[in-house]
Amino acid sequence: MVGRTALFVILSLSLAAAGGGGPTAAAAPYHAPRTAEGTPDFEGIWSNLSYTLLERPKRYKTLIATEAQVAWALARRDALIDGRKPPPDPDAPPKPPPKPGDADPDPDDVGQATSEFPDRNVDFLRIYGQARTSLIVDPADGKLPYTPAGRKLADAADEADQHDFANPESRMPDERCLTASGGTTGPPMLNSTQNANYQILQTRGEIAILSETMHDLRIVHMGARHPAVGTHPWMGDSVGWWEGETLVIETVDQNPHDGPRFLPGGVFYLSPAAKVTERLTRISPTQIHYEFTVEDPEVYKWPWRAETMLNAAKGPIYEFACHEGNYAFPDILAGARATEKAAKAEPPKVGAQP
């Protein structure tokens, strides 16, 4: 994923328990300001910028990361950005000493990673001050609970992404600039380490969520019902309602072409039958707690749940200038044709004149 210069400074707030009133005192629940219609006001620009992935990497055994683990991971990222040798992993088992002539397993790589990394100064996702190792909280192992059929779909999408260059239509929607890479536009709105900004606008009957990535606009129809006949729109069909301080958004009718969302370390897959339920609760002037549940029996063994934070951010939202499928595709397809031509070329015969 090609990095971009950070456009916003993220204002995050670590919440602490309220003091005073003795050991039994608890923090009063936060009540968001109200719109003219009397509903909680979520309007503004928010960001889910985070270094934490949807699925938990193998090196982490628990949902909560230690500060030592956070420090090592961020130091490793900074070293890779600068083209320096990353620090040794303190949690890794000791390695045998290298033998004479062995290659350095972690060589300096100046110039190779610098332009391929996203924004600097990106922290782990922190919820109530605790650094998280994954967005997924259920199942407890932080992994997508694929069924065998679901895993087959995800693997087939990954294989096609790597090897199917037959024509523009065979490429993935994010590469064609139809959807956002990594599923940041949603639903669900997955966190990113770049362009992770959203603008929310509320009216009486609709809530609009503008994603900076791909400048996609999702309309949530408040108090409405899903159409009886699906139309398979990009980002699905979203309806919403209020449960006290919480905005609940239910999305169905996923577009079949937007099934695979390519993430660092794997593929997150949704079938057209999936239902995504999002719950947004403003817990402070600068934070919205965002959780979502995915139900997709064709792909997953059981419903699974994840959570993250939306933090107040400085604006404005900037244009996301994708290539719109016009400029990169001639080179992408020409490279594929050249590779095919080279594979078909016969090796020169022994003794043949050049």
Residue 276, C-beta contacts closer than 8 angstroms, at least 6 positions apart: 186, 187, 188, 236, 250, 251, 252, 270, 292, 293, 294, 295
- Mean of pLDDT values over 153-182: 85
- Mean of pLDDT values over 6-11: 30
Asked whether residue 263 carries a pLDDT value surpassing 60, the answer given is yes
More confident residue, 258 or 10: 258
Asked whether residue 11 carries a pLDDT value surpassing 50, the answer given is no
Answer for the pair 125, 133: CB distance below 8 angstroms, yes or no. no
Q: How confident is the model at residue 1 (pLDDT cuts 50, 70, 90)?
A: very low
Asked whether residue 17 carries a pLDDT value surpassing 50, the answer given is no
Mean pLDDT computed over every residue of the chain:
83
* Amino acid residing at 92: A
C-alpha triplet 4, 9, 13: angle, nearest 5°: 130
Q: How confident is the model at residue 285 (pLDDT cuts 50, 70, 90)?
A: very high
More confident residue, 317 or 19: 317
Q: From 301, 240, 246, select the one nearest 276 (Cα to Cα).
A: 240
Asked whether residue 214 carries a pLDDT value surpassing 60, the answer given is yes
Q: What pLDDT, on a 0 to 100 scale, did the predictor assign at position 346?
A: 67
Asked whether residue 134 carries a pLDDT value surpassing 90, the answer given is yes
Asked whether residue 28 carries a pLDDT value surpassing 80, the answer given is no
Q: What pLDDT, on a 0 to 100 scale, did the predictor assign at position 6?
A: 32
- Token pair of 130 as six digits: 């605790």
- Mean of pLDDT values over 314-322: 83
Give 137-167 pLDDT, tens digit per residue. Answer: 999 999 999 999 999 999 998 888 888 888 8
- Which phi and psi angles does 256 have, rounded to 5°? -65, -25
C-alpha triplet 59, 62, 63: angle, nearest 5°: 110
- DSSP letters for 215-227: G-EEEEEET----
* Distance, CA of 204 to chain centre: 30
- DSSP letters for 117-180: ---SSPPPPEETTEEBS-SEEESTT----B-HHHHHHHHHHHHHHHH--SSGGGS-TTTTTSS-
**Dist. CA 257–CA 166, nearest whole Å:** 17
Question: Three-class SS of residue 269?
Answer: strand
pLDDT above 90 covers what percent of the chain? 47
Burial class (CB in 10 A: 0-12, 13-18, 19+), 16: exposed
Q: How confident is the model at residue 12 (pLDDT cuts 50, 70, 90)?
A: very low
Asked whether residue 8 carries a pLDDT value surpassing 60, the answer given is no
Give 57-108 pLDDT, tens digit per residue. Answer: 999 999 999 999 999 998 888 887 777 777 887 777 776 776 776 666 555 5
Question: For the ranges 211-215, 220-224, 269-273, which has the lowest average pLDDT?
Answer: 211-215
Q: What pLDDT, on a 0 to 100 scale, did the predictor assign at position 106?
A: 56
Question: Three-class SS of residue 60?
Answer: coil
**Dist. CA 1–CA 6, nearest whole Å:** 15
More confident residue, 327 or 126: 126
C-alpha triplet 337, 338, 341: angle, nearest 5°: 85
More confident residue, 116 or 88: 88
- Mean of pLDDT values over 169-196: 83
Q: What pLDDT, on a 0 to 100 scale, did the predictor assign at position 27?
A: 63
